[in-house]
Chains A and B, each alone.
Chain A
Amino acid sequence: MELDSIGVNNTTSHNVRYDPDFDPSSDDDDSPPFDPRNPRSAFSLFPLENLLYCEDCHQIRCPRCVLEEIVSYYCPSCLFEVPSSTVKTEGNRCTRNCFQCPICFASISVVSNSDQVTAPTGPYSLTCSYCHWSSKEIGLEFDKPANLTAQFAKQLKAAAAENPKPKYAEFSTYEENFARLKSHYTSQGIGAAGSGTGGLGVGRGATDDYGTSPGTLSRLMGLYTGGGHVGKRNVSGLSARGVGRDANGKKTELTEMEDVEIVGDEKDIIDRLIQVEFDETTTQAQNLCQSRQPKFKSQLRPIATLLRTKRSKRCRACRHILVKPEPKVQSTRFRIKLVAMNYIPAINISRLDPTTSYHSLPPLSTHQFLLTVTNPLFDPISVSLSTPQKTPGKYPSIVTILCPEFEVGANTDAWDEVLKEDSSGEKKSRRGRGDRDRSDGTVWDSGRNWSTVVIEERDEEDEKVVQVPIFVRIEYEAEVGMDSGDVGDVPGGDGRKEKKEHAYWCVLYLGKIGRMHANYKYLLPRRGVIHA
């Protein structure tokens, strides 16, 4: 079977007509076929490997219909697990020695600046091995090669103390800024209710962080709706003061906030911008990663590495757990892993004629592809595929599945396949090559747990990607009560078989229609005349 990259984009729809209680008799209802070109489709199509499956709801669950819970926090650089209590107090960044380059974001390592080769001593600096940025450039050096975060914080504090005017301080600490804001809000009566603001943003439920008293809320709303300015941090003090006066007719919170905010003097910035080269200013990406959006590269600081999480996932509908990873950082195992791949047949597309290129299919012609359905279940399934006659979109293609209803064998022991392959190798080759008559509605080829049918596509326009929506319905009989993976908690079944059904839309990307030769534009109207 071909496994070309463009052909295996097997995607399954999120919730468009995917329903376990889908009634086959009402197959031809009024709802239009799934349109992969609809702007909303981008949010409901996922590759099969990204989908989960809820055994209790008997439904596919996409990344949008699960709830996530954090199992553990860890630093992606030093791979140390960080207890959630530390995350709450110290923040969601690595507090050891892990930093990212502020220029290129590669991880940076500590390097000795001394000339001594045999026994390196201080001072040490953080150096990026990708772009060769060094913390020496911003005057940041360390005495010891360990516990850098603490040393960094100490230096920031010292620099802030040297320069008492926080507005123009090159170095000012987060803590001081935070303490200033906190005292400000406490005086405003907001901080009292939301005393736990330290935990904001690190995975706390957004229930009570802003306090519950209506006065607090209205005060906060006043802060944010009064001005309508989003980027207050960069707004100069003047405009903030103006807004404050407009809103309440007197000196209000915004003006006071100006005192606690650290706003670079715009005149200084403009003067410096005139002097420096363009190269010395920060890019947007660099800017956004820093705490107060500096304009110049000399103001960039190393970025402490952001922690990563391991998360478990629950079904949004029934809250049953779908994925539960091992909490250990380096483990790739899962305690619970209910992925759709084990419940939903995989659909693959490959070329019938191996000489055609997926990237430039000959225009105005019929293309044939092989559609393979692979069954992951331990019971044989009967599959019925249906597709709109013309694909949705401005330039439709006519799509025909030559054998829309067929059976796929069970996913039995892998040894069966080996034994079968030996005996039925001849049979398969005969079926694949000898049987040229493909219009008789039979399966093209099949194996232990897979079947292949031919799908035909005829396009009427060139230069577009052919996306075919297919409605897949599978039926199978599973033993009731057997916890074989595909049956839920159905009690009291002794070998009784129960009919099960799945139905969902999926979209196949067949390839791109190539460009016609240059005088195609002249040919096209003539062709239309002939047909008329």
Chain B
Amino acid sequence: MPAKQAKGEYIETDTGNKVSRKSIIVGSQNIILGGKTIIQAECTVRGDLRRTIPSSSSSSSNSANVAIAIGRYCFLSRSSILRPPCKILKGQFSYYPMKIGDHVFVGEGSVVEAAAVGNRVTIGKNCVIGKFSIIKDCVRIEDGTVIAPNTVIPTFSLVRGRPGLVVEELAETAPEKLDLKQLYRMI
């Protein structure tokens, strides 16, 4: 568990987010943090990679600008990378927004390019979450897993391997075990 950091290591926002001064946040106007989320040093969050073609569902202009939306009590460990997924659709290249739920832990050195990550998801160290993958609620991804692009991981799954496959079902207590409120209090 991370030790208590020296004062001034984090910038704290009104909603309780703690963002390390040493993190690399690009395009912060396109990033939403839900509150009480911690971003550690050397993390990269690429808010600048936003949608370049208008959304087909033509929602309000405000939400169209959001590249990365992160929920509450999330924890981005050292040198992890969040990058919105991209693809060429009908000849046009574009990035697509990434949505991350509450209580999501991203381990050291992991790269996340998922389209959606649900609530209470723990991603281990040095994982790669492929483009446009969808990870549902209550999922644990073990260290070093590589999830192939476009993969869907259902709820209560333990994912392991390269390519990452569901190897086990999590117990009923998983929602309590994957809660990150305690972790926030430690920082």
Contacts and interface: CB of A to CB of B under 8 A. Distances in A.
The number of chain B residues touching the other chain, given as a range, is 20 to 34
Interface in B141-187: 146, 148-157, 163-166, 171-177
Interface in A78-121: 78-79, 104-107, 109, 117-120
A49 B156 contact: no
A326 to B, nearest CB: 10
Contact of B151 (A107, A323, A330): A107
Contacts of A186: none
A322 to B, nearest CB: 9
A125 to B, nearest CB: 15
A448 to B, nearest CB: 15
Given A104-B163, A105-B165, A118-B91, A130 B173 contact: no
Q: Is the interface of A mostly helix, strand, loop or mixed?
A: loop
B102 interface: no
Contacts of B130: 129-130
A294 B88 CA distance: 37
A331 B136 CA distance: 10
B90 interface: yes
A329 B173 contact: no
Contacts of B48: none
A105 B166 CA distance: 10
B148 A49 contact: no
Given A118-B90, A130-B163, A332-B137, A49 B171 contact: yes
B1 interface: yes
B158 to A, nearest CB: 12
Contact of B154 (A76, A104, A105): A76
A253 B177 CA distance: 55
A76 B173 CA distance: 20
B138 interface: yes
Interface string A324-335: 010001111010
Interface in A30-58: 49-50, 52
Interface residues of A, number: 34
Contacts of B171: 49-50, 339
Contacts of B173: 49-50, 339, 341
Contact of B148 (A107, A329, A339): A107
Given A76-B152, A106-B151, A118-B91, A332 B166 contact: no
B172 to A, nearest CB: 5
A106 B148 contact: yes
Contacts of B153: 76
Contact of B90 (A109, A119, A332): A119
B152 A128 contact: no
A505 interface: no
B160 to A, nearest CB: 12
Nearest to B155: A332
A129 B151 CA distance: 9
A129 B154 contact: no
Given A332-B156, A334-B172, A341-B176, A107 B150 contact: yes
A315 B34 CA distance: 41
A118 B136 CA distance: 32
B56 to A, nearest CB: 15
Contacts of B90: 117-120
A79 B154 contact: yes
A79 B137 CA distance: 13
A330 B148 contact: no
A337 interface: yes
Interface string A119-149: 1100000001111000000000000000000
A74 B91 contact: no
Nearest to A323: B172
Contact of B150 (A3, A76, A109): A109
Interface in B9-32: none
Most B-side CB within 10 Å, residue of A52, A109, A120, A129: A129
Interface in B108-149: 119-120, 130, 136-138, 146, 148-149
Contact of B163 (A50, A77, A106, A341): A106
B176 A330 contact: no
Top 6 nearest A-B pairs by Cβ distance?
A: A130-B148, A106-B163, A106-B148, A49-B173, A130-B163, A129-B149
Interface of A: 2-3, 49-50, 52, 74, 76-79, 104-107, 109, 117-120, 128-131, 308, 323, 325, 329-332, 334, 337, 339, 341
Given A77-B152, A329-B155, A331-B155, 19 more contacts: A49-B176, A74-B154, A105-B165, A107-B148, A109-B150, A117-B88, A120-B90, A129-B150, A130-B146, A130-B148, A130-B163, A329-B154, A330-B155, A332-B138, A332-B156, A332-B174, A334-B172, A337-B172, A339-B173
8 contacts: A50-B171, A117-B88, A129-B148, A130-B148, A329-B155, A330-B154, A332-B138, A337-B172
